[in-house]
Structure 1
Amino acid sequence: MSDPIAEVATLEPSAALTVETVCSVRHWNEHLFSFTITRPASFRFRSGEFVMIGLQGEKKPLLRAYSIASPAYAEEIEFLSIKVPDGPLTSRLQLIQPGDQIYLGRKPTGTLVTDALLPGKRLFLLATGTGLAPFLSLIRDPDVYELFEQVIVVHSVRRVSDLAFREELESQLAGDPLVQDEALLQLHYFPTVTQEEFRTTGRIGVHVENGQLFQHPVKGAPNFDPETDRIMLCGSMAFNREFQAMFTALGFTEGSNNKPGEFVIERAFVD
């Protein structure tokens, strides 16, 4: 069997794809890693969007949609990924090292963007697992803090080691060149773990039901309010559908790029 990483040396750009170089790789645990790649000068995206990335398959590029975790102004593009031992792409992607090459789509898109939301006061970013990725981009966007008084990142994972970027989030983005001051006052981080002991345990729905999600330092209504709250969902299909149904029942309207609403969900990862 050929070396899967050696194969990426033969990547060729196309009308839909550029060939980029891996800059860094960070393994959080045996199931999770993040990495950065070079950014083409012509590549533009809105915070919260996703793009196709991949490696060369036997006959054609093997591509998957990945949310961009880096802010829109970053010189490199960052992604967060699970490791699937028998996954067609991730079984190979998890082996990348700095200097390797990777395909990058030329056209980012998505609905987890502020353009798809109506004005509001509190922005809840509800994520499970690697669904955190688009929110890492959004919380480092200065415009987000102009649009919302509070930005609440809620991240549910199975194990404590799955809390990627925990240190940066707990510090409220201390040292960030553009949003450090705003994040200190407006950004709140609510991590919860479902299968290990942690200061907060249980699924996100549990903390909605018991009201803990809306306690200090989060200010405002003791539950989700369509008048003031805006929601972004990014997680497993079951999670997305569960909360989509809940918000619809509460009177929230789903938004899109063409018609903003009170909550949004990334359709590319649901349908």
Structure 2
Amino acid sequence: MTDTAVTSPIPSRDAFTESGAVSVETITHVHQWNEELFTLRMTRPASFRFRSGEFVMIGLPKEDGKPLLRAYSVASPSYDEELEFLSIIVQDGPLTSRLQHIKVGDPVYLGKKPTGTLVTDALLPGKRLFMLSTGTGLAPFMSLVRDPDVYEMYEEVIVVHSVRRVVDLAYRELLESKLEGDPLLEDDQRERMIYVPTVTREDFRNQGRIQTLIEDGRLFEQSKGPKRFDSETDRVMLCGSMAMIKDHAADLEARGFEEGANNKPGSFVIERAFVG
């Protein structure tokens, strides 16, 4: 893993224009996890507020000068003075093919209205909160897992991250340390955070897809609770590929879970904006 300032000819700040929907922020840090995965940090407007788990639009200008915006979950905690986003590189992607070349000091568009359903407001009270993610779906959970309020609601917070390769395990060291150095979490809260990484294409201490870990019980090994899902007391958040969300949502519903929303809390939630 390397921390880099990547060079690329993108428009100067003069090419950006303010609008009612976006502000212009500045890239403060670029972290390359591997050749396909990177993190961006940017300045945060004093007026920008969000709930842990929400997403916002970020982007760059198109050739005609208009914003090219895409939805990104905020990965930084709500108390952070900056905003952080986790992105995969899609070589033919209109935005990510350019974002991968952004460097410290470059301007970037930030939407002014964060929103989303991967929030605790969309869940009923419970004892355990499971965050099931694949790939960059980990991003909103990195915000939630560092939110002290989450630990006031749940006895255990279990972060599950499934990837193809070991090098795809973004934030692994931080999560394995149980968020060591976090300025707001108490020691007992950090101890109640459980990290379950799993890799599908390489040797690792956990191998297999999340569904396999559910079925053979490995998902629950570190928990003090039941060694299976309990729809009465467990709450689940899903974020990842559309196929992953569809499969796990169906599995949860078969186990008696009901999907929640901001206006009707339930026992599991997905980000509807990302899956339609």
Question: Which TM bucket (shorter chain)?
Answer: over 0.9
Which amino acid is 1:186 matched to?
R
Query: Is residue 109 of structure 1 aligned with residue 115 of structure 2?
Result: yes
User: Which residue pairs with 2:37 in the alignment?
Assistant: 32
Once residues 269 and 118 of structure 1 are traced to their aligned partners in structure 2, the CA distance between those partners, rounded to angstroms, is: 22
User: Which residue pairs with 2:53 in the alignment?
Assistant: 48
- Which ranges of 4 or more aligned residues in structure 1 deviate by more than 3 Å? none
Say which of 80, 83, 86 aligns to 1:80.
86
User: Which residue pairs with 2:272 in the alignment?
Assistant: 267
Question: 3-state SS of the aligned residue for 1:154?
Answer: strand
User: Which residue pairs with 2:3 in the alignment?
Assistant: none
**TM-score between the two structures when normalised by the length of structure 2:** 0.95
Query: Is residue 228 of structure 1 aligned with residue 233 of structure 2?
Result: yes
Task: Quote the sequence identity (%).
Answer: 65
Once residues 97 and 16 of structure 2 are traced to their aligned partners in structure 1, the CA distance between those partners, rounded to angstroms, is: 18
Tell me, yes or no, if the aligned pair for 1:237 and 1:270 is still in contact at 8 Å: yes
User: Which residue pairs with 1:161 in the alignment?
Assistant: 167
RMSD: 1.1
Which amino acid is 2:10 matched to?
A
Which amino acid is 2:29 matched to?
S
**TM-score between the two structures when normalised by the length of structure 1:** 0.97
Q: Deviations over 1:30-87 (max 9, x none)?
A: 0000010000011000000000000001222111000000011110000000011111
Once residues 45 and 222 of structure 1 are traced to their aligned partners in structure 2, the CA distance between those partners, rounded to angstroms, is: 34
Tell me, yes or no, if the aligned pair for 2:8 and 2:103 is still in contact at 8 Å: no
Structure 2: segments with no counterpart, 5+ residues: 1-6
Tell me, yes or no, if the aligned pair for 1:49 and 1:108 is still in contact at 8 Å: yes
CA shift, 1:249, in A, is 1.1
Say which of 127, 134, 151 aligns to 2:157.
151
User: Which residue pairs with 2:4 in the alignment?
Assistant: none
Once residues 86 and 180 of structure 1 are traced to their aligned partners in structure 2, the CA distance between those partners, rounded to angstroms, is: 44
Say which of 25, 44, 69 aligns to 1:63.
69
User: Which residue pairs with 1:6 in the alignment?
Assistant: 10
Question: 3-state SS of the aligned residue for 2:25?
Answer: strand
Which amino acid is 2:272 matched to?
R
Q: Deviations over 1:192-224 (max 9, x none)?
A: 001111111110000001111111x21211211
Question: 3-state SS of the aligned residue for 1:184?
Answer: helix
Question: 3-state SS of the aligned residue for 1:201?
Answer: coil
